[in-house]
Structure 1
Amino acid sequence: MTALSRGLLAAFALGAAVTLGGVAEAQTKLKWAHVYEPAEPFHTASVWAAGEIAKRTNGRYQIDVYPSSQLGKESDINQGLALGTVDMIISGSSFAAKAYPPIGVTYYPYTFRDADHLLAYAKSDVFKDLAKGYEDKTGNHIVAVTYYGVRQATSNKPFKTCAEMKGLKIRVPDAPAYLAMPKACGANIAPIAFAEVYLALQNGTVDAQENPLTTIEAKKFYEVQKNIILTGHIVDHLNTILSKGLWDKLTPEDRKIFSEVALEAAARATAEVAQREKELLDVFKQKGLTIVEVDTADFKNTVIKNITFESLGYRKADWDRIQALKATN
């Protein structure tokens, strides 16, 4: 082989290595999991974000989004961040609180006045402090907060007061924060997995459940429940969380891209949820459901009287800081 031939072969090999390296880099695959339906804004915004991250990183990341509990129920995907079975999730702070209890204070009933108050919290120092505490404990990094909606109850039997919930079999998510209002009112609590709620309502395993109106629509709970009770007990949100394994590997530039895209996706989903939430009471009335309004002060006072912050692992000082926040549009 001549020197020229050897040189050309070496150049070809180097070019191939660069090309193959580029392909390998382009095939960095990530799993993004959540428990929501494909038609819901949380999924459609996540799919958009996955594509946008691929675009802004020149194809170096391929993110596959898994909806509808495909990679496990909510507690599973939270654990999956540490186990390496998922790289990104959308999940509520109530589940993050299993690792770092103080961050769950936002789920103490009637903490937020409305969606604007929640969104002000997402930009506040108290949120930054709680998110840092969670990251210090787990290594996982919260990049965005999405408005999930105001949680209302649905039931086969209407009720107007906290006392009338006594003995009611109600499904709540398997996290302590969600138990506070039903427990204070004397209901019988069943922490059934989200994917199984429709069937549990249909076959009478439980009489009631609670979720935002948009979720009641998406999961078709209105097909197996007769009444919507406007308890408004939690103004809910979801966090977009990156695992420690992923966050630690990202360059500063890629961290910026992931964070910016997640915030844009959260804003998209938030706007969709807020708009649809305004329309849904009329939609449910047209479907023949009864809308029951209640005195929320009755529920709030009963919770405060019976469920302490400390019993849930929260700090009242954090709650007080949240109460002092002014909503900004």
Structure 2
Amino acid sequence: MKSRLATILCTAAVIMASSAIAQAQTVLKWAHVYETSEPFHTDSVWAAEEINKRTDGRYKIEVYPASQLGKEADINQGLKLGTVDVIISGSSFAARDYKPIGVTYFPYIFRGPDHLIAYTKSDVFKRLAKGYEDKTGNHIAAVSYYGTRHTTSNKPIAKCADMQGLKIRVPDVPAYLAMPRACGANTTPIAFAEVYLALQNGTVEAQENPLTTIEAKKFYEVQKNIILTGHIVDHLNTVISKTRWASLSDEDKKIFGEVMQEAAERTSKTIAGKENGLIATFKEKGLNVAEVDKADFEKTVMEKVNFEDFGYEKADWEAIRAIQ
């Protein structure tokens, strides 16, 4: 009888303990628009599991990939509405709330991935990230390298003037449009999902994206020239919503920040590694992979594009360019 009573009491204690843990656990939503095979997702899942471990199970983070919670504009809105806690998104969206942070998309501001990463550890980044946080309350916890944007085209391109009249698909984001328009191209904002078909049927003659995207979306099947314009060294921010960030203790803020930065470093390393091998891969496929006179492109952009048109500060551009 005593043994049976002890068993009942033990079971009750386990149930009560489990219930207490369940009540103490906070479930968060982490959203992004990338596919499950991409490092932006796999490293987000790693971060979610790591945060769970380092907080002794107090936070369970559910990661929603591939636009499951909406397109990039939707999940940014979700931060404001409190329907999502963490997102991965570009600074072009952060710039909709705080324009100066968008200067990082100005053509040729970064020399390469290493320069970008150095920027994320600089006082300039801290100041711009704080400006965004002061404006929105949202906290940029980490930055990952997305890839260096290059151009694919039906025709060879060696200098900026060769793009005159070229029909090119470019995302409908002001800073992305700057280089093609400065070179005289006709920009067309076609939905990303429709780019392959648009290139195939001649609706547009060119597009621009990182090498990893050119491979993943098989644009090389319908474009035989890969022009290494390298006009934007692209990146993504890991952003925590205002309400969630405010709810975290100082200890948990430290854990979230450290884990998210580790995840961003993993992603950046993976992307850079893949890019390094893709030029040889494309050449093996018989594509014309061509260098360009970047100085010519940059000079044209600086002559024809005004920082003020975007709401950027030239002093920020100069400070970022000076980072070693």
Asked if Structure 1 and Structure 2 have the same fold, meaning a TM-score greater than 0.5 normalized by the shorter chain, the answer is yes
Distance 1:51 1:153 in 2: 37
- Residue 178 of structure 2 aligns with which residue? 180
**Per the alignment, do residues 246 and 76 of structure 1 end up closer, same or farther by CA in structure 2, a change over 3 Å counting?**
same
Q: Identity percentage over the alignment? A: 69
For 2:312, the equivalent position in structure 1 comes to 314
CA shift digits 1:294-320 (9 cap, x unpaired): 111111111111111111110001111
SS at match of 2:187: strand
Match of 1:278 in 2: 276
- For 2:64, the equivalent position in structure 1 comes to 66
Equivalent in 239, 249, 252 of residue 250 of structure 2 = 252
Match of 2:236, SS state, is strand
The aligned residue for residue 117 of structure 2 is 119
| Per-residue deviation, 1:30 | 2.1
SS at match of 1:237: strand
SS at match of 2:179: helix
Deviations 1:201-256 (A, max 9, x none): 34433322211112222232223322111101011111111111211111212111
Query: CA 1:125 to 1:52, structure 2 compared with 1: closer, same or farther past 3 Å?
Result: same
2: CA distance between counterparts of 1:227 and 1:267? 31
Q: Could you tell me how far apart the structure 1 residues matched to 2:309 and 2:67 are?
A: 30
Deviation at 1:21, TM superposition (A): 3.5
Opposite residue 52 of structure 2, the aligned amino acid is A
Match of 1:140 in 2: 138
Q: Secondary structure at the match of 1:70?
A: coil
Cα distance change, pair 39–207 in 1 and its aligned pair in 2 (3 A): same
Point out the more displaced range, 310-319 or 12-21.
12-21
1:212-291 matches, within 5 Å, as 212-291=210-289
AA paired with 2:221?
Answer: E
**Are the equivalent residues in 2 in contact too, given 1:170–1:190 (CA < 8 A)?**
yes
Kindly state the Cα deviation for residue 15 of structure 1 after the two structures are TM-superposed: 8.2
Provide, for residues 23-79 of structure 1, a one-character-per-residue CA deviation record: whole Å limited to 9, x for no partner. 1333x3222222222222222111111111112122222222222233332222222
The CA deviation at 1:16 is 6.0
State the alpha-carbon separation in 2 of the partners of residues 224 and 73 from structure 1: 26
Shift of 1:189: 1.7
Task: Kindly indicate whether the alpha-carbon contact (under 8 Å) linking 1:111 and 1:319 is maintained by their aligned counterparts in 2.
Answer: yes
How is 1:31-42 mapped onto 2 (pairs within 5 angstroms)?
Answer: 31-42=29-40
Asked if the contact 1:108/1:177 (under 8 Å) is kept, the reply is: yes
The separation in 2 between residues aligned to 1:61 and 1:284, in whole angstroms, is: 43
How far 1:178 moved relative to its partner? 0.6
SS of the counterpart of 2:190?
Answer: coil
Structure 2 distance, partners of 1:299, 1:272, is 28
Equivalent position amino acid for 1:219 in 2:
K
Give the total of aligned pairs: 318
1:17-96 mapped onto 2 (5 Å cutoff): 19-26=18-25, 28-96=26-94
Q: Which amino acid aligns with 1:297?
A: A
Q: Which range moves more in the overlay, 128-137 or 30-39?
A: 30-39
Q: CA 1:70–1:305 in structure 2 vs 1: closer, same or farther (change >3 Å)?
A: same
Aligned alpha-carbon RMSD (Å): 2.3
Q: Partner amino acid for 2:217? A: K
Equivalent residues of 1:145, 1:263 under 8 A apart: yes
Tell whether the 8 Å contact from 1:35 to 1:74 is kept in structure 2 after alignment.
yes
Which residues of structure 2 form unaligned runs of 5+? 1-7
State the distance in 2 between where 1:24 and 1:188 align: 57
Aligned counterparts of 1:60 and 1:314: Cα–Cα separation in 2: 41
1:189 aligns with 2:187: yes
Q: What amino acid does structure 2 have at the position aligned with 1:20?
A: S
CA distance, structure 1, for counterparts of residue 152 and residue 252 of structure 2: 43
Distance 1:168 1:69, change over 3 A: farther
* Structure 1: stretches of 5+ with no match in the other structure: 1-7
1:248-290 residue CA offsets vs partner (Å, 9 max, x unmatched): 1112121111111101001111111111111110111112221
